[in-house]
Amino acid sequence: MDLRAFFEPKSVAVVGASREPGRPGYTLLKNLISMGYKGKIFPVNPNLKEIDGMRCYPSVLDIDDEVENVVILVSADRAVKVVEEVAERAKRRGDVRAVVCISGGFSELNTPEGRERERRMVETLRSAGVRLMGPNCVGVIDGYSRFTTNFDVDDYPAGGVSLVSQSGALATALLFWARPFSKIGLNKLISLGNMADVDVVECLDYLKNDNRTKVIGVYLEGYKESRRLFEKMREVSLLKPIVLLKAGRSEVGSKAALSHTASLTGTDALYEAAAKQCGVIRVRDVLEWYEMIHALEKQPILRGNRVAVLTHIGGPGTLTVDRIGISKTLSLANIPEEAKSAIRSMVAPTANVCNPDGYIDLTASHTEELHYKVLKVLFAQDTVDAVIQVLGHSMFLSQRLMAEKVHAAFEEVGKNLGKTFLNVVAFDESLPEFKLEMERRGLPTFPTPEIAVTVLEYMWWYAVKRERLRDAPQLYPLPQPQRPLPIKGKKVMIEWKAYQLLERYGIAVADYRVVRGINEMISAAEELGYPVVLKAQHPELVHKTDAGAVVLNIRDATELRHAADTIRRNLSSRKGLEPQEYLVQRMVNSGVEVIVGGVRDESFGPVVSFGSGGILVELLRDVTFRLAPISRSEAMEMIRETLASRLLEGFRGESRKDVESLADLLVKVSEIMVREEWIKELDLNPVKALDSGYAVVDARIISA
């Protein structure tokens, strides 16, 4: 069933309607009218006959007309009873399709009673085929149908933005922010609340197919099925950008979120990885969230990363250029010589034309007409993908005329060529009329140079990512596990068995032999060639190195005998163990140390990781994650993200290591994590990346 009845119902019953101006049950009715909703409205309140001339019904069962949507504002206990009446009605008349439960007092209380109430409500409605949004939410606003269940926002213009939020206040606060200057036009606002029935994934799926939705802003505190969520987000991101603001980066933040909507926020690093993998623009703060949504609604997505800057105020102009200069992805545009000459012929001799290249400061002797002419030249250049114009207050300029001229330049040249055009008002309140005129014309303005450049950086990231996603539009489906759990009772797999598993998947382990006595050891070492490593193998032996069960760099038989003695003594004295099996392994002295791992997350499922070995991983957490399975190009992307990649590419005159074979290794590990469902954790630490190939020199597999 689709969600249409939540957004465009033909009629709505408001249970808990009121005639007291200070109550939600009153303002909601008022907002339906002030928004201009054209459907039928049925107030429900057993104590009232009418509200402002509207007939009031004792219960939803008493409404003769068809009712498609029911909004519930009464207390939690009464809400459960209302829902029973709704279900009864739906079964009898088949008209109610959607319930929006604004009321709180359910699972967010974290009490058994609250959870039970919520469970009953969902069960009752399901039995009647009625869907539920909330409880504990502010419901929906639809900018086009003009339907609303929101008691706070009394009017809002229609547009291309849809918001899906686990905090109703946050989403509506965004609208109040945007409204005075028409910064954002609204398609749909969805306040998810406790997501007892309709959840974020279903909403995203609905918005994916909603052609009026140009950009989706998501605020999330937590969601149980993260993998399902990001699979959907990946699908959506191919068609339209998602701008995600995710709470729970810190431990205390997670606690606050938990007490807010009963959401476990999940591991932040995995959210970060999944967003990167699925083309979701994850922003760092509220300002970025707002301005990204704002920019993406009004401007085309960047076609390239070359930005020209036009200003008449040197300081803010310099800061804009400076911010582009420290960007890792954007650069100033090169302006062709003819274009430079053309601009020079227009401007005052004191103007700065392209020093540095791509930057034009018209200085004090600028006019509206001059901005128009220079903008047209800039838009026309093939070498320019975006223009940032930085304007400041001036007693000598007409804000209205400037907006007209700037708009004309974009319409005449920039728009058809698909150029992205951002205007910075230095700062924010300096040019209110200009700002308003520009936003009305669909040209976004920004309060500071830095946020405008940040917006372009995210845009460009999305543009590049979206192209890559086209090759792999979905996360790979997870196959059924193929092998039964091979180790019972033992949590940690013995090393050589782990090696055998790896080898079955074609992973290259440094040559080894499993041996028992000293003679076997010596002949194994001779077969492998010295130097070798000797490691005891025992099911109880978890931290081999700490237990003194490993000797590295053994150079001959004498040293080998000595090593075997040492290990025996260590294990006997420290652990009371007498290992029967040993591993003799070829010593790999060359190469760059990296770490490859896998983990099975409750919410994200199988995950693969890659990072630097040695001190770097512990000192810097130089590690990156992806949901498994991954493609080869994703594996390459993972490697490139780490500092390890700089070491692998041939740092300080060292030879380049075989990065491609490492990518293969990552793909294989991701395959193992997907297929061997019994594995909880897998650690190849370290892996030696070599000039050709690689060698796994230690492995640890832990079962769930």
Please report, as residue ranges, which positions from 364 to 383 form the binding site for its own copies (by CB under 8 A).
364
**Helices within 94-150 (DSSP H only):** 112-127
Segment contacting its own copies (CB under 8 A): 5-13, 119-127, 175-183, 458-466?
A: 175-183
| Segment interacting with its own copies (CB under 8 A) among 225-233, 274-282, 379-387, 448-456 | 448-456
Q: Is 457 in the site for its own copies (CB under 8 A)?
A: no
Least distance in angstroms from the C-beta of 340 to its own copies: 14
Name residues contacting its own copies, limited to 145-164 (CB under 8 A). Answer: 151-152, 154
Which CB sits closer to its own copies, 478 or 552? 552
- Residues 395-427 as b or e (16 or more Cβ within 10 Å = b): eebebeebbbbbbebbeebbbeeebbbbbbbbe
Q: What angle do CA 387, 283, 666 make, to 5 degrees?
A: 105
CB of 374 to its own copies, least distance (A): 16
Phi, psi (degrees; rounded to nearest 5) at 20: -85, 120
Q: Using CB under 8 A, which of 75, 127, 350, 500 touches its own copies?
A: 350
CB of 24 to its own copies, least distance (A): 8
261: contact with its own copies by CB under 8 A: yes
Give the interface segment with its own copies, choosing from 170-178, 224-232, 374-382, 511-519 (CB under 8 A): 170-178
CB 534 within 8 A of CB 582: yes
Neighbours of 600 (CB within 10 A): 20
CB atoms within 10 A of CB 661: 15
Q: Please, what is the minimum distance in Å from the beta carbon of residue 436 to its own copies?
A: 13
- Considering beta carbons, is residue 470 or 652 the nearer one to its own copies? 652
Supply the minimum distance, in Å, between the C-beta of residue 620 and its own copies. Answer: 7
How many CB atoms are closer than 10 A to CB 150?
Answer: 28
Q: Site residues for its own copies, window 301-330 (CB under 8 A)?
A: 313-319, 321-326
Residue 331 or 661: the one with the smaller Cβ distance to its own copies is 331
Q: What CA–CA distance (Å, rounded) separates 63 from 72?
A: 15
The answer for residues whose C-beta is within 8 angstroms of residue 184's C-beta and 6 or more apart is: 159, 161, 174, 175, 178, 290, 293, 294, 297
CA distance 389 to 424: 6
Residues 75-114 that bind its own copies (CB under 8 A): 104-105, 109
Check residue 650 for interaction with its own copies (CB under 8 A): no
Binding characters for its own copies, 409-438, by CB under 8 A (x = yes): -----------------xxxxx--------
Report the residue number, 429 or 471, with the smaller CB distance to its own copies.
429
Asked if 552 touches its own copies (CB under 8 A), the answer is no
Residue 337 binds its own copies (CB under 8 A): no
Shortest distance in whole angstroms from residue 188 CB to its own copies: 18
* Distance, CA of 211 to CA of 68 (rounded, Å): 23
Question: For residues 374, 375, 377 and 383, what is the CA-based torsion angle, rounded to 10 degrees?
Answer: 130
Footprint of its own copies on residues 607-626 (CB under 8 A)?
615-616, 618-620
Neighbours of 228 (CB within 10 A): 17
CB of 293 vs its own copies, minimal distance in Å: 12
Q: How far is the CB of 373 from its own copies (least distance, A)?
A: 20
Could you say whether residue 446 binds its own copies (CB under 8 A)?
no
AA letter at 3? L
Q: β-strands 54-55, 50-51: how paired?
A: antiparallel
* Beta-sheet strands, E only, within 479-572: 512-515, 532-537, 550-554
Can you say how many angstroms the Cα of residue 262 is from the centroid of all Cα atoms in its chain? 20
CA distance linking residue 219 with residue 263, whole number of Å: 12
As measured in angstroms, the least distance from the Cβ of 126 to its own copies is: 26
Least CB distance to its own copies at residue 380 (A): 23
C-beta closer to its own copies: residue 96 or 324: 324
Residues 20-79 that bind its own copies (CB under 8 A): 22, 24, 27
The token pair that represents 371 in the structure block: 């901005």
- Cβ-based nearer residue to its own copies, 365 or 474: 365
First-last CA distance in the chain:
37
512 has which bridge partners? 585
Nearer to its own copies, 184 or 524 (CB): 184
Q: How far is the CB of 325 from its own copies (least distance, A)?
A: 2
Binding its own copies by CB under 8 A: which of 165, 194, 305, 609?
165
Binding span for its own copies by CB under 8 A among 66-74, 282-290, 410-418, 437-445? 282-290
**Alpha-carbon span 84 to 125, nearest angstrom:** 8
Residues 6+ apart with CB under 8 A from 17: 25, 26, 28, 29, 43, 44, 45, 48, 51, 56, 73
Least Å distance between CB 257 and its own copies? Answer: 5
Q: Which is nearer to its own copies, 253 or 539 (CB)?
A: 253
How far is Cα 183 from Cα 592, in angstroms, rounded to an integer?
A: 51
If binding is defined by CB under 8 A, does position 647 make contact with its own copies? yes
For its own copies, the binding residue among 129, 180, 473, 486 (CB under 8 A) is: 180
Whole-angstrom Cα distance, residue 633 to residue 626? 12
In angstroms, give the least distance from the CB of 499 to its own copies. Answer: 26
Kindly state whether residue 395 participates in binding its own copies, applying the rule CB under 8 A.
yes
Question: What DSSP state is assigned to residue 148?
Answer: B
Number of residues that bind its own copies (CB under 8 A): 96
CB of 544 to its own copies, least distance (A): 15
Under rule CB under 8 A, which residues in 563-602 are in contact with its own copies?
Answer: none
